[in-house]
């Protein structure tokens, strides 16, 4: 692809201020997305993936502060926008499908009215009739019957609420969509339907998309790129096929082994011993070092640099290339 990327995140640092100090939730994170391209942010709970995505549109709590880096959305540095400029950007240029669709809709308003009100708020020139026509079209696109617009959220199933949230994210044809755990709390059949619908709509509208998930199988099915996060940092990043074919960070290897394969040979699933790092006082070297089965002395002293394995694949590991996936054994107590 040519030209500047749709989204270019450079050295982003976003920390939370708490009584005990600063939580380094997002620490020197960089990635980019082209139009019609999807990036998957994966990692265990607390690794910083949702914080990184919310920092992209500066949808942060009061104690969340961007302390460095750039977020270029179609050339506009989001980190420098004024509050009224941010309000204009959200939903029109960048939209989010919030985690927990079960609770994301207002329970005392009809679902259709909530979408129409959001549209008319951002587009004052749109009449209520035009807004209704737009919502009817979106309901049909996401597989909801327009007759259900008059229902309240409690009358929708979990999958229907998730579809309604997808419709809301498409209201103003944004360039970028952030989908935060879009299949959480849904059964596997509905999960598959939601994933397929997201892929279909994203290609249809040529939007960039970030999919946040702890489920690496969802990312494998939906994404072109993958960023594996651990302890507020991206430890491996690249083209989805390259990373899955040649995982090069011990944490990535552990994640891949924690999910069953429907086609490969039967094997025991892997758990990674230990606990995530304290992001108020993170380890001085590699943040995965206390849990890593292939660590060396340098790993505890120095933070690993980002190393390019090929044009589309980078990894933050001192020992990358010196071990194979079979040598990363979390079960033998090497760590």
Tell me how far apart the 2 most distant CA atoms of the chain are, in Å. Answer: 67
Outline where 158-300 has alpha helix (H): 158-169, 188-205, 216-222, 240-245, 250-257
Domains of the chain: 7-93+174-327 (3.40.50.300)
pLDDT at res. 334 = 46
The pTM of this model reads 0.90
DSSP codes, 157-194: -HHHHHHHHHHHHTTT--SEEEEESTTTT--HHHHHHH
Q: Would you give per-residue pLDDT tens digits along the chain (335 residues)?
A: 457 899 999 999 999 999 989 999 999 999 999 999 999 999 998 999 999 999 999 999 999 999 999 999 999 999 999 999 999 999 899 999 887 766 789 999 999 999 999 999 999 999 999 999 999 999 998 889 999 999 999 999 988 998 899 999 999 999 999 999 887 767 777 778 878 888 888 888 889 999 998 888 888 888 999 999 999 999 999 999 999 999 999 999 999 888 776 666 666 777 898 999 999 999 999 999 999 999 999 999 999 999 999 888 999 999 998 998 888 888 754 44
Tokens of 93: 């240029």
| Count of C-beta atoms within a 10 Å radius of residue 273 | 13
Tokens of 177: 């969509």
User: Are 177 and 95 a contacting pair, CB within 8 Å?
Assistant: yes
Which is it for strands 38-42 and 208-213: parallel, antiparallel or unpaired? parallel
- Please tell me the distance from the alpha carbon of residue 226 to that of residue 189, in angstroms, as a whole number: 24
């Amino acid at each position: 692809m040519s030209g500047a990327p749709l989204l270019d995140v450079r050295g982003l640092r976003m920390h939370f201020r708490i009584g005990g100090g600063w939580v380094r939730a997002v620490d020197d994170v960089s990635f980019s997305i082209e139009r019609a391209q999807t990036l998957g942010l994966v990692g265990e709970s607390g690794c910083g993936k949702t914080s990184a995505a919310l920092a992209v549109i500066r949808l942060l709590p009061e104690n969340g502060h961007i302390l460095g880096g750039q977020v270029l959305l179609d050339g506009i540095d989001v980190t420098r926008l004024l509050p009224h400029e941010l309000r204009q950007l959200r939903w029109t240029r960048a939209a989010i499908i919030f985690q927990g669709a079960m609770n994301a809709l207002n329970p005392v308003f009809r679902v259709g009215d909530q979408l129409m009100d959001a549209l008319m708020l951002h587009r004052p020139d749109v009449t209520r009739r035009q807004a209704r026509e737009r919502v009817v079209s979106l309901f049909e696109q996401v597989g909801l019957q327009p007759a259900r617009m008059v229902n309240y959220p409690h009358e929708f199933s979990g999958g229907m609420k998730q579809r309604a949230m997808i419709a809301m994210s498409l209201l103003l044809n944004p360039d970028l969509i952030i989908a935060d755990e879009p299949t959480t709390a849904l059964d596997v059949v509905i999960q598959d339907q939601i994933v397929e619908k997201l892929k279909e709509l994203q290609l249809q509208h040529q939007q960039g998309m970030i999919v946040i998930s702890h489920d690496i199988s969802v990312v494998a099915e939906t994404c072109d790129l993958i960023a594996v996060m651990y302890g507020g940092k991206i430890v491996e990043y690249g083209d989805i096929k390259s990373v899955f074919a040649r995982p090069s960070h011990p944490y990535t290897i552990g994640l891949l082994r924690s999910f069953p394969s429907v086609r490969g040979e039967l094997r025991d699933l892997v758990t990674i011993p230990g606990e995530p790092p304290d992001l108020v006082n993170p380890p001085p070297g590699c943040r995965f070092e206390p849990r890593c089965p292939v660590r060396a002395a340098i790993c505890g002293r120095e933070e690993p640099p980002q190393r390019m394995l090929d044009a589309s694949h980078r990894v933050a590991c001192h020992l990358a290339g010196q071990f194979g996936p079979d040598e990363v054994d979390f079960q033998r107590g090497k760590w």
